[in-house]
Amino acid sequence: MEKKDVIIELTGVSKVYDGTTVVDNFNLYVNKGEFITFLGPFGLWQNNNSTDDRGL
Protein backbone atom coordinates (compact mmCIF):
# COMPACT_ATOMS: atom_id res chain seq x y z
CA MET A 1 0.00 0.00 0.00
CA GLU A 2 1.44 3.32 -1.04
CA LYS A 3 1.05 6.20 1.40
CA LYS A 4 -0.37 8.46 -1.36
CA ASP A 5 -3.36 6.12 -1.82
CA VAL A 6 -4.49 6.43 1.83
CA ILE A 7 -7.23 9.06 2.24
CA ILE A 8 -8.35 8.16 5.79
CA GLU A 9 -5.99 6.91 8.47
CA LEU A 10 -6.85 6.00 12.06
CA THR A 11 -4.04 4.59 14.21
CA GLY A 12 -3.92 3.44 17.81
CA VAL A 13 -7.62 4.07 18.51
CA SER A 14 -8.85 2.70 21.86
CA LYS A 15 -12.17 2.95 23.71
CA VAL A 16 -13.09 2.06 27.29
CA TYR A 17 -16.67 1.78 28.60
CA ASP A 18 -17.21 1.51 32.35
CA GLY A 19 -13.66 0.29 32.90
CA THR A 20 -13.82 -2.36 30.14
CA THR A 21 -11.63 -1.96 27.08
CA VAL A 22 -13.85 -2.59 24.06
CA VAL A 23 -11.43 -1.42 21.36
CA ASP A 24 -7.68 -1.58 21.83
CA ASN A 25 -5.10 -0.17 19.42
CA PHE A 26 -7.39 -0.24 16.36
CA ASN A 27 -5.85 0.81 13.04
CA LEU A 28 -7.78 1.63 9.85
CA TYR A 29 -6.49 2.71 6.48
CA VAL A 30 -8.91 3.60 3.69
CA ASN A 31 -7.50 3.94 0.21
CA LYS A 32 -8.80 6.12 -2.59
CA GLY A 33 -11.73 4.37 -4.30
CA GLU A 34 -12.62 2.13 -1.35
CA PHE A 35 -16.03 2.14 0.33
CA ILE A 36 -16.40 1.36 4.03
CA THR A 37 -19.21 1.29 6.56
CA PHE A 38 -19.48 0.56 10.27
CA LEU A 39 -22.29 -1.73 11.29
CA GLY A 40 -23.55 -1.14 14.83
CA PRO A 41 -26.17 -2.79 17.03
CA PHE A 42 -28.99 -1.08 15.10
CA GLY A 43 -27.63 -1.87 11.65
CA LEU A 44 -26.92 1.02 9.31
CA TRP A 45 -29.17 3.46 11.17
CA GLN A 46 -26.18 5.26 12.71
CA ASN A 47 -24.63 5.88 9.31
CA ASN A 48 -27.90 7.06 7.73
CA ASN A 49 -28.73 9.21 10.74
CA SER A 50 -25.34 10.91 10.78
CA THR A 51 -25.71 11.64 7.06
CA ASP A 52 -29.12 13.21 7.70
CA ASP A 53 -27.70 15.30 10.55
CA ARG A 54 -25.10 16.78 8.21
CA GLY A 55 -27.80 17.65 5.67
CA LEU A 56 -26.43 15.34 2.99
Mean pLDDT (whole number) for 5-11: 93
Closest-CA residue to 30 (of 51, 13, 12, 10): 10
Inter-CA distances, 22 with 1, 18, 26, 35, Å: 28, 10, 10, 24
pLDDT of residue 45: 52
- Give the residue extent of every domain in the chain: 3-53
pLDDT of residue 27: 95
Question: What is the pTM assigned to this prediction?
Answer: 0.57
Beta-sheet strands, E only, within 18-52: 20-31
